[in-house]
A and B are shown apart, each in its own frame.
Chain A
Amino acid sequence: MISQEVKNKIKTEEYFINMGPQHPAAHGVLRLLLTIDGEIIKNVEPDLGYIHRSIEKMCERDSYQQIVHLTDRMDYLSSNINNEAVCLTVEKALELEVSDRVKVIRTIIAELTRLASHQLWWGVMGMDLGALTTYFYAFRDREMINDIFEETCGARLTMNYNIPGGLMFDIHPNFVQRTKDFIAHFKTKLPEYDRLLTGNVIFEKRTKGVGILTKEDAISFGVSGPVARGSGFASDVRKHHPYSAYDRVAFKEILFTEGDTYSRYKVRMAEMWESMAIIEQLIDNIPEGDIQAPTKAVIKLPKGEYYQRVETARGELGVYINSDGNKNPYRVKFRSPGFSNLSVLNHISKGVKIADLVATMASFDFVIPDIDR
């Protein structure tokens, strides 16, 4: 609209804006230093560390049972899956065989955690794009999962239910019945979520074609989880490196190829159906067996390096333990899914409006203590 020579005369300067630690779209305390010209973003530079609690330094002075408590405060939305990751690493190091019952219960609880995390993501994604009703719908249903967890594991959010060698205690007698009731209830509610947001014209206009991530970029930036599967990179650890009871369960790995915010949204919505299918296949025949494999009180891993990959709700969590044989590990590293997913944000949001950056970040589903550790 403005002719070229007028545009050259009006020199508008770029300026910096802090999409800073205390920001509703930051889902925590992530600070993005945006270089913008008007509404168009020129550069996104994340500045982390506002919730860096030095977990890896603590792990070097904790015993293996104590490390489990720290991991569910890292990615608190998939806390069970994080605990399971550490326990699997320790069991792999000790060559400890865990009973079938523990494997099945761990898988059911991991899928319930994934459902609760995707529900929260769906509620908050709607809220980020201005639809407040999704927040109330999602949290109403999330309370049912919290009640199941509270009855079985004793806590609503940071469950220390997994211990190296099995589970803390057996499942609650009416755990099976309540899970089935929840699945039946949620099967009627998930289509309601679809009707509320998926078909909404405003939502589609805000998310289709926004934040395109190609498959090569996803692989090169180490992106994993629903974000990667939205652009066609098959990175589901449950499928490619099955652990616990995922090898005896039939489920689809959802892949879309467009790689925009809408396809990442569809991946997570379809994943909720898959999680329910997994739970249904396992909930009826939980095998009998003992809950805890015998382990010594003070666990000492033999000298060496152990690595275990687990599929959390946000992506692939890797636990690397380097042990030199004594009580606490020599070095522990958590490969956090959010950290690599964040590195791609700058690459895909150049020349995008700020509102689209908010939509892209909502579809990335960041949990900031998982990035900062």
Chain B
Amino acid sequence: MGVDKKRFLNQYEAEGLKQVMPEDFPGKVIPGGNGGNIVVTTLDSVINWGRSNSLWPLYFGTSCCAIEMMQTGAPKHDFSRFGFEVARPSARQADLIIIAGTIVNKMGPVLRRLYDQMAEPKYVIAMGACAISGGPFYYNTYSVIKGADHVIPVDVYVPGCPPRPEALLEGMIMLQEKIKTENMSKKVNPIDGFDEGK
């Protein structure tokens, strides 16, 4: 999780407090990992370790954030230090799709088809304000989808327009930690029930 979130949690435990959910909390709290991060068996931890450290991103840059994604792949902010080295052009061989840029009405079904054609287990990072909520193109545009999570389930949101390479790296590390807490038996496919508005 994020650096400041970790500092906040450590300081929280230091004072002996426990995170108590306020009664009037409207929504349901979904545990961080897919399928709960309570008990992770040794087999799970081995598989999750392998899976989280070799996520292959897909070549999917639609607009300006793609340049910052390329900068993250470049020598200065190298994302191959964390195992993201191999970027695959075909959706069949990728297991992480970084939505770098605006998703437009005409691009929605294409993005959904690419997501469906990726092999399991697949993860999604929504990079940039456009992928999160339509960003600067929220008002007065007739052709922009206001946020990529109308099309596919998103795991990590990286805000910024465009986000700095370090921000994208932190988002990727967050995704890796999320994968590390996955539990095979309770794993549910994020796309099930997505269209019906889970």
Q: Is the CB–CB distance between A158 and B161 below 8 Å?
A: yes
A64 to B101, CA, bound (A): 24
B74's partner among A21, A139, A157 (CB-CB below 8 A) is A139
- B14-22, B25-33, B103-111 - interface stretch: B103-111
Least Cβ–Cβ distance between A141 and chain B, in angstroms: 10
Q: Is the CB–CB distance between B64 and A22 below 8 Å?
A: no
Q: Is the CB–CB distance between B104 and A53 below 8 Å?
A: yes
A58 to B68, CA, bound (A): 25
Least Cβ–Cβ distance between A318 and chain B, in angstroms: 21
Q: Is the CB–CB distance between A158 and B162 below 8 Å?
A: yes
Give residues 100-145 of B contacting A (CB, 8 Å). Answer: 101-102, 104, 106-107, 110, 114, 136-137, 139-144
- Residues A29 and B164 in contact in the complex (CB < 8 Å), given A52-B106, A143-B74: no
Q: Is B50 positioned at the interface, with any CB of A under 8 Å from its CB? A: no
Q: Which residue of A lies closest to B74 (CB)?
A: A139
Q: Is A120 positioned at the interface, with any CB of B under 8 Å from its CB? A: yes
The count of chain B contact residues (Cβ–Cβ below 8 Å) is 36
Instruction: Please indicate the chain A residues that have their CB under 8 angstroms from the CB of B60 in the complex.
Output: 22
B143's partner among A20, A29, A53, A139 (CB-CB below 8 A) is A53
Q: Is the CB–CB distance between A22 and B110 below 8 Å?
A: yes
Least Cβ–Cβ distance between B104 and chain A, in angstroms: 6
B107's partner among A50, A70, A157 (CB-CB below 8 A) is A50
Give residues 161-197 of B contacting A (CB, 8 Å). Answer: 161-162, 164
Q: Is the CB–CB distance between B64 and A76 below 8 Å?
A: yes
Instruction: Please indicate the chain A residues that have their CB under 8 angstroms from the CB of B139 in the complex.
Output: 58, 61
Q: Is B67 positioned at the interface, with any CB of A under 8 Å from its CB? A: yes
A157 to B62, CA, bound (A): 15
Q: Is the CB–CB distance between A157 and B64 below 8 Å?
A: yes
A157's partner among B59, B67, B142 (CB-CB below 8 A) is B67
A29 to B104, CA, bound (A): 11
Q: Is A51 positioned at the interface, with any CB of B under 8 Å from its CB? A: yes
Q: Is B41 positioned at the interface, with any CB of A under 8 Å from its CB? A: no
Least Cβ–Cβ distance between A147 and chain B, in angstroms: 9
Q: Is the CB–CB distance between A53 and B66 below 8 Å?
A: no
Q: Is A69 positioned at the interface, with any CB of B under 8 Å from its CB? A: yes
A49's partner among B61, B73, B104, B140 (CB-CB below 8 A) is B104
Least Cβ–Cβ distance between A228 and chain B, in angstroms: 25
Q: Is B76 positioned at the interface, with any CB of A under 8 Å from its CB? A: yes
Give residues 29-57 of A contacting B (CB, 8 Å). Answer: 29, 49-54, 57
Q: Is the CB–CB distance between B66 and A28 below 8 Å?
A: yes
Q: Is the CB–CB distance between A54 and B136 below 8 Å?
A: no
Q: Is B71 positioned at the interface, with any CB of A under 8 Å from its CB? A: yes
Give residues 39-88 of B contacting A (CB, 8 Å). Answer: 58-64, 66-68, 70-71, 73-76
- Residues A143 and B162 in contact in the complex (CB < 8 Å), given A21-B110, A53-B102: no
A24 to B61, CA, bound (A): 9
B136's partner among A49, A57, A73, A77 (CB-CB below 8 A) is A73
Instruction: Please indicate the chain A residues that have their CB under 8 angstroms from the CB of B2 in the complex.
Output: none
Q: Is the CB–CB distance between B107 and A53 below 8 Å?
A: no
Q: Is the CB–CB distance between A58 and B140 below 8 Å?
A: yes
Most buried by A among B61, B64, B101, B162: B64
Q: Is the CB–CB distance between A73 and B63 below 8 Å?
A: yes
Q: Is the CB–CB distance between A29 and B62 below 8 Å?
A: yes
Instruction: Please indicate the chain A residues that have their CB under 8 angstroms from the CB of B114 in the complex.
Output: 22
Instruction: Please indicate the chain B residues that have their CB under 8 angstroms from the CB of A146 in the complex.
Output: 71
A369's partner among B58, B64, B71, B73 (CB-CB below 8 A) is B64
Q: Which residue of A lies closest to B88 (CB)?
A: A24
Instruction: Please indicate the chain B residues that have their CB under 8 angstroms from the CB of A369 in the complex.
Output: 63-64
Q: Is the CB–CB distance between B104 and A22 below 8 Å?
A: no
A135's partner among B74, B104, B141, B164 (CB-CB below 8 A) is B74
- Residues A58 and B62 in contact in the complex (CB < 8 Å), given A51-B104, A69-B136: no
Q: Is the CB–CB distance between B144 and A140 below 8 Å?
A: no
A345 to B172, CA, bound (A): 38
A21 to B108, CA, bound (A): 11
Give residues 124-142 of A contacting B (CB, 8 Å). Answer: 135-136, 139-140, 142
Instruction: Please indicate the chain B residues that have their CB under 8 angstroms from the CB of A73 in the complex.
Output: 63-64, 136
Least Cβ–Cβ distance between A276 and chain B, in angstroms: 22
Q: Is the CB–CB distance between B164 and A140 below 8 Å?
A: no
Q: Is the CB–CB distance between B75 and A136 below 8 Å?
A: yes
A110 to B137, CA, bound (A): 25
Give residues 42-101 of A contacting B (CB, 8 Å). Answer: 49-54, 57-58, 61-62, 69-70, 73, 76-77
Q: List 29 A-B contacts (CB under 8 A).
A: A22-B58, A22-B110, A22-B114, A29-B62, A49-B106, A50-B106, A51-B62, A51-B63, A51-B104, A53-B102, A53-B104, A54-B137, A54-B143, A54-B144, A57-B140, A57-B141, A73-B63, A76-B64, A76-B67, A120-B67, A139-B70, A139-B76, A140-B74, A142-B71, A156-B68, A156-B71, A156-B162, A157-B68, A157-B162
Q: Identify 5 new A-B residue pairs, CB closer than 8 A, beyond the known A53-B102, A53-B143.
A: A49-B143, A135-B70, A135-B74, A139-B74, A157-B162
